[in-house]
Structures are given as C-alpha cells and as structure tokens.
Amino acid sequence: MNNLSQTQKDIIQVIDDDAAMSQWQDWTWQLRHSIRDLDLFERLLGVSFDEEKQREFRKAAERFPISVTPYYLSLIDPADLENDPVFKQAFPSPLELVMTRADMTDPLHEDEDSPVPCVTHRYPDRVLLLVSGVCAMYCRHCTRKRKVGDKDAIPDKEDLLAGIDYIRKTPQVRDVLLSGGDPFMLSDERLDWILGELGMIDHVEVVRIGTRTPVVLPYRITDDLVAMLKTHHPLWVNTHFNHPGEVTASAREALGRLADAGIPLGNQSVLLAGVNDCPRIMRALVHKLVRNRVRPYYLYQCDLSEGLAHFRTPVGKGIEIMESLIGHTSGFCVPTYVIDAPGGGGKIPIMPNYLISWSTNKVVLRNYEGVITTYKEPDSYEPWFCDRNCDRCDLQLRTEDASEIKAIGIEKLLADHDKSIALVPGGNVRYERRGEES
C-alpha cells in the first residue's frame, strides 16, 4: 500500500471524518465520496472563487455534470490552479458553453452507425460495445459529453444481450472493444459475464477494454478484478493518460497488476490545449508509460463535440509533437496521431512528411535530423498476376501456422521424410579439416 500524501489525509478529514485512512484505497469509498459540488471543491482546494466565477461554474455544471474522485482531485496543485493539468480536465470551464460553428452533438455519428442500441459498428472487422454509461470521473474533454450523467445511457441486461447477439450473428467481427462509460465501473460479476459470453463466440478472436480507471481511480484495479480478467485471454486494455503527472505511484501499481496478469496495455491520449500541447510534456508522458509497460497507441486530435472548443489545438501542434518523437525516441514510444473523421469516417492517421519526392526508380526521403537521402528502387519488378483465387495460389498466402513437426535427433535418421544420414557431434576435428560444419 502506498503512503497517503498530506493532501489526501486532509481530504479524508473534510469529506468523511470517520473514515479510516485505509478506506482511501477502497474504490467504492472513492466513488461514494466523489466531488460534485462547488462548495466542496473550494473547501478541498482551500480556495474561494468570486461570485462571477461561481455563477459560471454552476451554469457549466448544469449543462455538463461534474464528478471527480477524491483521489484524482488530490493530484491538483492548489497553488497553481490555472495551469494545473488535472484541474483543467476535472473542473468545468465557462468556455464549455461557448459553441462554435464547427461543433456537433455527435461528430463521429456513433448513434447512426449503431445497428442495436449499445453497438457502434463502423469498421469491417471490429465493433464498439458500450457496456456502461458510468464513469469514475467526468472528463471535461469527453467526446461523448452529450451522454454524460444521462441515466438512459446505462444499458440494461436486455440491451447488452441484444448487443452480444448482434456480434454472435455477425461473423466478420473478430475484435470487440468494450467501452462506455467505463467498463471497469461494472461489478466484477457483470464484467465476467460479458467477457464469458463474448468468449463463447468462435469468431471473436480478441476483446479490448477501454478504461480511465488507472488514471482517475487506480484502486479499482484490485487483485480480484485482475484474477477474473486473467481468465478471459486474449484480452487487451487501453488506458487514457494525458499528462505525465497522472502517472503516480498508485497508477503505476495498477498498471503493474494488469501487466503482470499478461494483459497487453496501450494508452490513448487526447491532445488538449493547456494540458499536454507541448513536445516536452508528451515526450515525458510516453517515456513514463513505456517504463510502466504501457505502449502509447493513439494521440487523438480533439473531436468536434460541443463544449470542447477551448481544448482544441491546430493540427499543426500534433504534427509538431510527432516530429519531436519520431526518430528522437524509441519507436514503441511513438503513438499514431489520428483525427477521428467527423461524419463517422473513422480514425485517419496524420504524420509529418518524410517522402520528399520520387521518380520512376528512386524516392527522395528526409530523416528526423533533416538529412535528405535516397532509396533506389529495383530496375525491374515483375508483379505477380493475381486473380484473387487464393486456393490456387502458390505464393506466400499460406496463413495457417507453419508445421512444427520437425524430426529431432535419432528420430531424424529414422524418418523417411528427412534426408540426413549421420549425426555428428560439434567440434569434430575430421569434419573441421574438411571445412564442413559439424
């Protein structure tokens, strides 16, 4: 158990005087004591906002509800609220009510690409299954802000069954992403049931869970949860760290537990003005993630959802960040920078340009240092004729496992299919004289 900081001890005193210090690490205690009103915010941070600010806060909170776990709030530095990355992700801003012409309620058309209520089917081979309408904390930059706090958005068992049934009847779905809301807000039993149902569908090869709990409620990653998840491999988890300050000792412990259970971890960050729109911050974040066995997966350009205008950066900022990562640091530290296309076109990768020019037999490239180089293409290349008749193809299209039935040792000499006539011990002088390998 990690020691509590003084701030954390002070917070316990204010919100639940009777609580034992150990309750801080009980995730249900954290949720029961989530901060939802301004007065408590002020008391816990030891600040008082002027009347104008309080009015703005209440207006913004009315439109887009607030909820912050005591743990996540404890990461805020009250001495520098205006610049604090956690404060900016947790505390409503009056700017959320400023709509721009670009804003849309459902920019990704998730509701339209939805064959049954809790499924979004956009790509050919994978679907989003919305299993929970609840989050541990309401991110101010949520792309599904329209649904936050909306009780109707919580799928009941019947909706879930319909979603699972859709997946069962759609054989091209080989990858299911559990999302929401946060799937880890469900009880272990409910999650176990969903994963079990999906596991019984032959064509579902892999399941992924998207969760922000390691960031805002790391105590949710209990031994019991992890023991249950382990029984549902192959299972992948994507988290959502946006700033290196979020990778605390408690978060590291949660990530370590998941990784020790053999769950490959990825991270999806959102590029947010005033939070992480800086190459140095991003580099520190990806390095911290990788040290904790989390592979940076996506860096999202902030969506066009309503209430997010003040978080958006120009696309050039993302390209500048990618420019500062690619080549400068390990390849597995570099996420793919994507814009999720408005209208539901899916994620589109964006990169700096490395291909400067090309002719019919040469390409001109530049590297991360600005060195301009060339790659000479083959003088002749005979493309294979392809009539898409894979059954008859004698090329590389054999995708089944290679045979591991190789004869070894004396078995080799006995087997009809092996041409060996002798086994020679290593270091045989006679063979060495012949110049043959023994």
Ligand X SMILES: *Cc1c(COP(=O)(O)O)cnc(C)c1O
Site membership for ligand X, residue 236 (CB under 6 A): no
Amino acid at 181: G
Nearer to ligand X among residue 174 and residue 366 (C-beta) = 174
Minimum distance of ligand X from residue 347's CB (angstroms): 5
Site membership for ligand X, residue 129 (CB under 6 A): no
Tell me if residue 14 falls in helix, strand or coil.
helix
Q: Is 123 a catalytic residue?
A: yes
State how far the Cα of 249 lies from the Cα of 389, in Å rounded to an integer: 55
Which candidate in 84, 182, 277, 303 is catalytic? 303
Task: List phi, psi (to 5°) of 198.
Answer: -65, -35
Site membership for ligand X, residue 295 (CB under 6 A): no
Q: Among candidates 254, 197, 250, 188, which has minimal Cα distance to 221?
A: 254
Q: Is 375 a catalytic residue?
A: no
Site membership for ligand X, residue 66 (CB under 6 A): no
Q: Is 303 a catalytic residue?
A: yes
Count Cβ atoms below 10 Å from residue 427 Cβ, excluding itself.
Answer: 8
State how far the Cα of 377 lies from the Cα of 379, in Å rounded to an integer: 6
Nearer to ligand X among residue 295 and residue 347 (C-beta) = 347
Q: Is 388 a catalytic residue?
A: no
Site membership for ligand X, residue 33 (CB under 6 A): no
Dig out the tokens for 205 from the structure: 């090869």
Q: Is 390 a catalytic residue?
A: no
Q: Is 53 a catalytic residue?
A: no
Nearer to ligand X among residue 341 and residue 356 (C-beta) = 341
Contact in structure between 362 and 372 (CB atoms under 8 Å): no
Nearer to ligand X among residue 193 and residue 297 (C-beta) = 297
Which candidate in 84, 88, 142, 302 is catalytic? 142
Minimum distance of ligand X from residue 430's CB (angstroms): 58
Minimum distance of ligand X from residue 328's CB (angstroms): 25
Among 29, 56, 93, 122, binds ligand X (CB under 6 A): 122
Which candidate in 123, 297, 368, 431 is catalytic? 123
Q: Is 295 a catalytic residue?
A: no
Burial 116-133 (b: 16+ CB within 10 A, else e): bbbbbbbeeebbbbbbbb
Which candidate in 72, 106, 135, 145 is catalytic? 135
**Which own/partner contact pairs does 316-322 have at CB distance under 8 Å and 24+ positions apart?**
317/271, 317/277, 318/271, 318/350, 319/350, 319/351, 319/352, 320/279, 321/271, 321/277, 321/278, 321/279, 321/282, 322/350, 322/351, 322/352
Residues 320-379 that bind ligand X (CB under 6 A): 347
Q: Is 139 a catalytic residue?
A: yes
Q: Is 302 a catalytic residue?
A: no
Strand arrangement of the beta sheet that strand 355-358 belongs to: 355-358, 362-366, 372-376
State how far the Cα of 427 lies from the Cα of 400, in Å rounded to an integer: 38
Site membership for ligand X, residue 167 (CB under 6 A): no
Which residues sit at the interface with ligand X, rule CB under 6 A?
120, 122-123, 126, 128, 177, 347
Residues taking part in catalysis: 122-123, 126, 135, 139, 142, 144, 303, 340, 347
